[in-house]
Structures are given as structure tokens and as C-alpha cells.
Structure 1
């Protein structure tokens, strides 16, 4: 990894560990979850949404979201001695999960409580497409504002590529 990229990841990790950023992200996600619950979608836990290639969709996140997510995986649910994340998946083992999220285990999200914005919004239920884009754009704008308010570099990237970079 180049020094500039390494510095970005270090900055995102540091920012994600700050209490005020953690509180802001948790608040944003809680408000998003309430907004989505009011729309009434149903998740059948099919796991299709996590199989990106098969379902023909990509998940985009910010560097801060990945850093916060990985901090939650290793600190809250991982093994401190081995630094092994939830579900027994040690980064990077993406080759074992081609075209899919490596945190999906037996068809379920093993990191559901700390999943990023895009995961929270996407439902494969027919009819949810009508509101998903508007809600996504609204909350992505709020996420960008969070970055600005806390002086955090904003980068938008593919989930798998970002996880691979962060784990490098």
C-alpha cells in the first residue's frame, strides 16, 4: 500500500475510535434504521443481497465506515488474542468468498449490528426500490456532512476493495 493510502487508513481508524465520531455514526445508523422500519420492508434472511455477483449489485461505503466496522468487528466481537473478527473470518480471506461479502455465514450476516449504510438500506423485496434510492441519497449526504463536521477525509469505495485495502 502506498504511503498516502496508508495514511488515509490510519486517519480513518483514528477517527472511528474517537467517542464523538462513534456516537455520531451510531446516531446516524439508528435514525436510518428507524426511517427504514417506518417504510415496512421485510427481510427474509435469504442472504441473496450479500452475494454481490450473483445478485448483480455492488456495495459502496466510505473509508470511515470500513474503519469503524473493522474496529467493531475486532474489538466488540472478535478474539483479542488472535484479532479474529466475528464469524471466524480473518481478514483478508476474500478468495474463500468470491463475489460475496466475507461476513455472510450460513446465509446470514454475522455483523448485522455494525453493518454499513448500504447494507442497512438494501432490501431484495420487490417494491422497495421505489424508496431505497431517495433514502440512500439523503443518508449518504448526512454521512458526508459527518465527515466534514469532524474533519475526516471523505472517500467512497467498493466494500470488498476497501476491506482488502484496510486489511493490507
Structure 2
């Protein structure tokens, strides 16, 4: 993406759009005041019955900026960036991580915020003609390992 002879936008332009979207989402989430007790349930997907989906745009930001992880830890069951119930990839984490809280009082708000910003991610993909791809986290992590 973003080679000098292509019509694609520079990676930094797309990344800046994603990071700005994250800042806006974080502000809206913060104003909703969801409770986090640092249980780590958000990252133990199988144990708590959920799957973290993210777009290719988000995966690119995450994989470019996240700390190293053990490829052996890449499964659909949990996030390899979780260490001691805390996220080691907090800054580049995708929208699904940002909006997800176990707080029962926040569940309806979480859905509304997630849908709003997911729609905006799709608009960014359209604006920059990057295409749209949405898959579970482990899919992107495994692809990175096989392409390395």
C-alpha cells in the first residue's frame, strides 16, 4: 500500500484516519463510564463465549505497532497480547477491544458505539479504496506469521 507509483493512499494517511477514529471512540466510551475490573475476561475469548473481529485496516495498525507475541499463543481461544489480565497492545488495539467491557449496565451502549464506529471504519475503507475485510484476530495473526 502506498508505493510511489500507485494510486493508493500512503499508509500513514490511512493509519492517521484509523487513529483519529480510535480517539473519537475512546472519548465516547469514556463518557459512557463503563466499569472495568481488569478481570481479563475480554481477552479470553473461548472461556467467555466471544470472538474478537477486526478489519484489515485495524489489523494493519495493530500488527505494525503491537509488541512481539509468541506465535504458539495464536489461537481462537484468547488474545496473545494479554499478560496478567492486562493488554500489552493497548494503544494500537482494535475497536472491538476498545468498546468491550463486561459491565452489564454498559451492554446496550457498547452495541451502539461499536456499530457507529464500525460504520465509520467502513467509510474509511471506501474513502481510501482499501477494500473491506473483517475476520477474527487469530486469522490476521496467523497470516502475519506465515508471510514473515
Which blocks of at least 5 consecutive residues in structure 2 are unaligned? 3-7
Contact 2:18–2:57, Cα closer than 8 Å, also in 1: no
Correspondence 1:94 to 2:73 = yes
- Displacement after TM superposition at 1:23 (Å): 1.1
Q: Which runs of 5+ in 1 are unaligned?
A: 1-10, 79-84
Structure 1 distance, partners of 2:15, 2:23, is 12
5 Å-filtered alignment, 1:1-168, equals 11=1, 18-73=11-66, 78=67, 85=68, 89-90=69-70, 92-94=71-73, 99-168=77-146
The alignment's TM-score, normalised by the length of structure 2, stands at 0.87
Residues in 2 aligned to 1:142 and 1:66: alpha-carbon distance in whole angstroms: 16
Are the equivalent residues in 2 in contact too, given 1:51–1:99 (CA < 8 A)? yes
- Secondary structure of the 2:25 match is helix
Aligned residues: 141
Structure 1 residues 71 and 125 mapped into 2: Cα distance closer, same or farther (>3 Å)? same
Higher share in helix: 1
CA contact (8 A) 1:16 1:67 kept: no
**1:16-48 alpha-carbon deviations (Å, 9 max, x no partner):** 972211210110000000000110112111101
Q: 4+ residue runs of structure 1 moved beyond 6 angstroms?
A: none
Q: Give the Cα–Cα distance (whole angstroms) in 2 for the partners of residues 113 and 29 of structure 1.
A: 9
CA–CA distance in 1 between the matches of 2:126 and 2:106?
Answer: 30
Q: Does structure 2 retain, via aligned residues, the 8 Å contact 1:33–1:120?
A: yes
CA offset digits 1:45-85 (Å, max 9, x no partner): 11011000011111110112111111112xxxx5xxxxxx1
